[in-house]
Structure 1
């Protein structure tokens, strides 16, 4: 994320006007009015992902309006999906009024007037309307509707946006474009889910989203032993053969993906000072390695060091340097898997 605005960088009397200009450039032009205070506090960071952009925002209480006049003057013709992090958010658009609670999702657009009373934090993903591969007549039904962000597709989209908002990784332009595709796929799948029109999604988008749903399921069940390909396939109503084919398209097997993620969880726990008293065999068993000798071999193969030596090194030097996973195809090897790190 790149900082676009921080009220701490301006004199108090200039911060609010600077915020209005910064958000006009970063998101869309709107008019603002402070509510209940004369001093504005806020910040904006953005991450361009090709034609898609993710923005993380925090702000003190204000009223904002996007009027017909502002739309005539400048309309980027974008859709935006936001996940609220904290505070109060009330928006009116398209003859609907939504009071959005923390953790909920909100879908809105730049080409219709809206009014918002906001105080808190949010993360936005925005993109040109023309990139959304769903019929506009259906999509408009969800404008200005509070949608759950803690389950199903909403949870996947929230996890993706939250990861990027807190990410310090530097991506190449190619990586950024691929992450933009991932974000647009998740937005499309989330809207299609709430509209009950999954069949309207392009087949390649459906396949990419299915892969993300499967890997999300595996992440949530890594501590389950055994976690088999048959169990994963059954949970997603596909055959085991289809499951293997999906992972082969990403250059990895189901077994090695699960094994790689479990080794990463073990590595994280071994480096945690609060878990220093927990025996190594207990950490291994928790993440699906019931045999200590098997775990030691797998960990050394993946990280080039034994679990005990790794733990001693990390707690002695206070870092995790030199311990990047070498498991072929493990999550974190490419931008599409970045938010599973």
Structure 2
């Protein structure tokens, strides 16, 4: 994500006006008024994902208002889903007022007036309403409602947003476009679930959302050596044949995908100085390899070096995330988001 605003870059008296200007371009025009404080403190980061956009923000107490006049002046015709991470958040839209706890999802519409109170931190995904393959009148029923973000597809969306906010990877434009498709699929799946309109969702969107649910389930159970295709399929109420077909559509098998994730977690733990005290067998067992000899053979076949040698060389070179293959070792560290002078980003919706 790119940081486009930091209140510390402005005189205290100008910080709120600068925040309003940046969010006007990045999200939509709204009016702000401080609550029980004299100066505004906060920051704003954003990441374009094709036609969609994900943002992370922190702010001190304010009330926000989007009036018919502001909508007439500029309307990106977007839907937004906010994920509060801390503090207090209240939204009123369509004559409904709802407080949202951290971890809940809150849907609102740029084309309708709203009023809100916010204090803390939140993540936000916004996307053009026209891209959502669900009837607009039905989606409207979910505005200003707190939806669970700690279970099912809601948890998938919350995890997706959190990962993008915390990840320091620099994605290519092609990566960003694909991630935008993932975001749209997850938003569609969340709303369709709560509207009981899964049948309205296009088949390819349902398949992509199912793949995300299945892979998320596998990630949570990597440490279980008894994890099987049969168990994965049963947990998602599909046949084993359908499960294999789902992974084949992504060019991998269930076994190879699972094994690759287990091996990568083991590699990271071996290269982590904070886990140097763990025996290699304990690292392997933690990620679903109950037999140390099997793990050693698999690791050597993949990286061309034993786990113990990999650990020694990774630590001697002072890296926590380097990969090693054959006789070459490299790091994948990347610089974090820039904290340069703020600027208004292009609107992505």
Report the TM range for the smaller structure's normalisation: over 0.9
Once the two structures are superposed, what CA deviation does each residue of 1:258-277 show, in whole Å capped at 9, x if it has no partner? 11111122122223333322
Matched ranges for 1:77-116 at <5 A:
77-116=77-116
Once the two structures are superposed, what CA deviation does each residue of 1:151-194 show, in whole Å capped at 9, x if it has no partner? 10110000000111112222221111111000000000001111
Q: Given the superposition, is the C-alpha separation of residues 26 and 119 from structure 1 closer, same or farther in structure 2, using an over 3 Å criterion?
A: same
Residue 183 (structure 2) pairs with residue 183 (structure 1): yes
Q: Distance in 2 between matches of 1:193 and 1:35?
A: 36
Residue 270 (structure 2) pairs with residue 232 (structure 1): no
What displacement does 1:325 show? 8.7
What displacement does 1:95 show? 0.9
Secondary structure of the structure 2 residue equivalent to 1:185: helix
What displacement does 1:110 show? 0.5
What displacement does 1:321 show? 5.3
Matched ranges for 1:195-210 at <5 A:
195-210=195-210
Q: CA RMSD in A?
A: 1.4
What displacement does 1:300 show? 1.8
Higher relative contact order (CA 8 A, sep 6+): 2
Q: Which residue of 2 aligns with 1:49?
A: 49
Q: Which residue of 2 aligns with 1:14?
A: 14
The question of whether the paired residues in 1 share the 8 Å contact of 2:268 and 2:321 is answered with no
Matched ranges for 1:1-341 at <5 A:
1-320=1-320, 322-323=322-323
Q: Distance in 2 between matches of 1:7 and 1:301?
A: 51
Deviates more, 1:270-279 or 1:293-302: 270-279
Deviates more, 1:124-133 or 1:164-173: 164-173
Runs of 4+ in 1 over 4 A off after TM superposition: none
Secondary structure of the structure 1 residue equivalent to 2:295: helix
Secondary structure of the structure 2 residue equivalent to 1:142: coil
The question of whether the paired residues in 1 share the 8 Å contact of 2:314 and 2:322 is answered with no
Unaligned runs of 5+ in 2: 327-349
The question of whether the paired residues in 2 share the 8 Å contact of 1:284 and 1:290 is answered with yes
Q: Distance in 2 between matches of 1:170 and 1:282?
A: 33
TM-score where L is the length of structure 1 = 0.93
Q: Distance in 2 between matches of 1:150 and 1:82?
A: 14
Once the two structures are superposed, what CA deviation does each residue of 1:243-282 show, in whole Å capped at 9, x if it has no partner? 1111111111100111111112212222333332221112
TM-score where L is the length of structure 2 = 0.90
Q: Distance in 2 between matches of 1:288 and 1:223?
A: 4
Q: Which residue of 2 aligns with 1:331?
A: none
Q: Given the superposition, is the C-alpha separation of residues 239 and 22 from structure 1 closer, same or farther in structure 2, using an over 3 Å criterion?
A: same
Q: Given the superposition, is the C-alpha separation of residues 48 and 325 from structure 1 closer, same or farther in structure 2, using an over 3 Å criterion?
A: farther
Q: Distance in 2 between matches of 1:149 and 1:234?
A: 23
The question of whether the paired residues in 2 share the 8 Å contact of 1:264 and 1:325 is answered with no
How many aligned residue pairs are there?
326
